[in-house]
A and B are shown apart, each in its own frame.
Chain A
């Protein structure tokens, strides 16, 4: 924000010069009001981005899954490979009846999808698209991401509870158990990168990986940390093979069984936006963020996120669903010990290598 507000000020000054002097009025506002205005505009832009992203990803997933199954996928709407299919679907969802079951707790039922979307939207705040394109470079960025990521589970639990439906509640309970368990490997696998960078700020982590000093190849333990983060974030997203909270074949879609129309599409939107957020955090922390050969910038960031999202879709259409006990044993018996080994190994490696290079061994705890 501290860089976007001056940038907006420059943009408006330029517009006032070139197009219409009336824009100059905006510059005469008090600073606080101007910052608020910029916040509203940035927030709306993020909302637009968040709404357009699932449109593209849903289309992409349908095409990818179709190709994996030797089908064509959407081909009709919009002419070229059905690129307007998801837009048409959105219009359909907007026109659908907004059903609230008779036995449901109406207030919670309405609130739940908003909470789910809000949680994924809030995570966008700390995503560093480029060196200046970040809504707020919080000094606790990663902690913030982990925190708001956990709000989503409240939305899911709320949806399952208020639907007054046994399948919804079962799905929501499974989801809560799953997300809370997998928080631990997610956090533990992010920690080695935080130790290397010496900061929790997402922008700081990206800057520590300038060039191609990506954390994923920083030492032998980091690829493992990346793998753990990727698997655990898949589980946090409730995606196949960890989609037992919304297993269509056993729970009739789990927590969003009773939802229809726009409220249902909110959950869908949150899921796909969360996919992007997870891919973006993996990119930021392990894959060098917006750094890349030739020209560092938002394009590199988006490309890496895109590839990770494609990998998630590829996995989804490859693997069958896990059982509940398998899910828990994967988390507690395999991922958590492995991430502890990672954390310990990466720290030791850093200390030893630093000592061999003659650097001060203890300094990395406090950053540079």
Chain B
């Protein structure tokens, strides 16, 4: 390309590309804004999203699997042996041998990796949809899930639920499956 031709080519390209760009921005300005006006509008929380942890302490066996799984060590659990005559079961029918007087999770340390809920044998530790738990005091981010605290907050009823398994005799006997063939 001769220099003269390149000069005019540049001139034309400059003008033309500006117009192309303006067309793009014009088209964009006609689109519907995608802003969500947060406190007034909310986006739907996706299924399986990882937010605040909750532990249903009545189902907790005190196995410490979550405490060990936690990569940032934000779960603190202490357990104590229940008296032999106390018969407490989880909702899944596991007999509880340990009581859990302390089950603290520091949500300011939590990295939302979901490892603790995956190892939980009774699935009592779960991620909830609640993601708005800002507080003024950092200490308030230590969530206590022990039973008295949850009762005080009105999360759990004061009375222990009765998950004792029904006597075996009452269960209807299942017919043995017919042999194939």
Chain A residues within an 8 Å CB radius of B18: 315, 318-319
- Decide if A66 touches B33 in the complex (CB within 8 Å): yes
Contact with B along A320-332 (1 / 0, CB 8 A): 0000000000100
- Decide if A315 touches B37 in the complex (CB within 8 Å): no
Which of B14, B22, B34 has a CB less than 8 Å from the CB of A315? B22
Q: What is the CB-to-nearest-CB distance from B54 to chain A, in angstroms, rounded to a whole number?
A: 33
Q: Is B35 an interface residue (CB 8 A)?
A: yes
Chain A residues within an 8 Å CB radius of B84: none
Chain A residues within an 8 Å CB radius of B28: 67-70
- Decide if B11 touches A64 in the complex (CB within 8 Å): no
Query: Inter-chain contact count A-B, CB under 8 Å?
Result: 40
Alpha-carbon distance A64/B30, docked complex (angstroms): 11
- Decide if B29 touches A68 in the complex (CB within 8 Å): yes
Alpha-carbon distance A314/B19, docked complex (angstroms): 11
Q: In the complex where A68-B28, A70-B28, A70-B31 touch, is A75 in contact with B37 (Cβ < 8 A)?
A: yes
- Decide if B22 touches A71 in the complex (CB within 8 Å): no
Q: Is A72 an interface residue (CB 8 A)?
A: yes
Chain A interface size range = 10 to 19
Report A333-366 residues with CB < 8 Å from chain B CB: 333-334
Q: Is B24 an interface residue (CB 8 A)?
A: yes
Question: CB-nearest residue of chain A relative to B37?
Answer: A75
Q: Is A317 an interface residue (CB 8 A)?
A: yes
Chain B residues within an 8 Å CB radius of A64: 29
B contacts with A, residue count (CB < 8 A): 18
Question: CB-nearest residue of chain A relative to B21?
Answer: A318
Question: CB-nearest residue of chain B relative to A227?
Answer: B15
Contact with B along A83-112 (1 / 0, CB 8 A): 000000000000000000000000000000
Report A61-83 residues with CB < 8 Å from chain B CB: 64, 66-72, 75
Contact with A along B1-44 (1 / 0, CB 8 A): 00000010011001000100110111011011111010000000
Chain A residues within an 8 Å CB radius of B7: 333
Chain B residues within an 8 Å CB radius of A315: 18, 22
Chain B residues within an 8 Å CB radius of A69: 28
- Decide if A319 touches B33 in the complex (CB within 8 Å): no
Q: What is the CB-to-nearest-CB distance from A208 to chain B, in angstroms, rounded to a whole number?
A: 29
- Decide if B33 touches A71 in the complex (CB within 8 Å): yes
Chain A residues within an 8 Å CB radius of B25: 68, 314, 317-318
Question: CB-nearest residue of chain A relative to B31?
Answer: A70
Question: CB-nearest residue of chain B relative to A333?
Answer: B7
Q: What is the CB-to-nearest-CB distance from A315 to chain B, in angstroms, rounded to a whole number?
A: 7
Alpha-carbon distance A317/B24, docked complex (angstroms): 11
- Decide if B37 touches A72 in the complex (CB within 8 Å): yes
Q: What is the CB-to-nearest-CB distance from A75 to chain B, in angstroms, rounded to a whole number?
A: 7
Q: In the complex where A68-B28, A70-B28 touch, is A318 in contact with B33 (Cβ < 8 A)?
A: no
- Decide if B24 touches A318 in the complex (CB within 8 Å): yes
- Decide if B33 touches A72 in the complex (CB within 8 Å): yes
Chain B residues within an 8 Å CB radius of A70: 28, 31-35
Q: In the complex where A67-B29, A69-B28, A334-B11 touch, is A314 in contact with B35 (Cβ < 8 A)?
A: no
Chain B residues within an 8 Å CB radius of A67: 28-29, 33
Q: What is the CB-to-nearest-CB distance from B26 to chain A, in angstroms, rounded to a whole number?
A: 8
Chain A residues within an 8 Å CB radius of B24: 318
Q: In the complex where A314-B22, A318-B21, A319-B18 touch, is A72 in contact with B29 (Cβ < 8 A)?
A: no
**B interface residues (Cβ-Cβ under 8 A, vs A):** 7, 10-11, 14, 18, 21-22, 24-26, 28-29, 31-35, 37
* A-B contact sample (10 more), CB < 8 A, given A71-B35, A334-B10, A334-B14: A64-B29, A68-B25, A68-B28, A70-B28, A70-B33, A70-B34, A314-B25, A317-B25, A318-B21, A318-B24
**Top 10 closest A-B pairs, CB basis?**
A72-B35, A67-B29, A318-B21, A318-B25, A72-B33, A68-B29, A68-B25, A70-B31, A318-B22, A71-B35
**A interface residues (Cβ-Cβ under 8 A, vs B):** 64, 66-72, 75, 314-315, 317-319, 330, 333-334
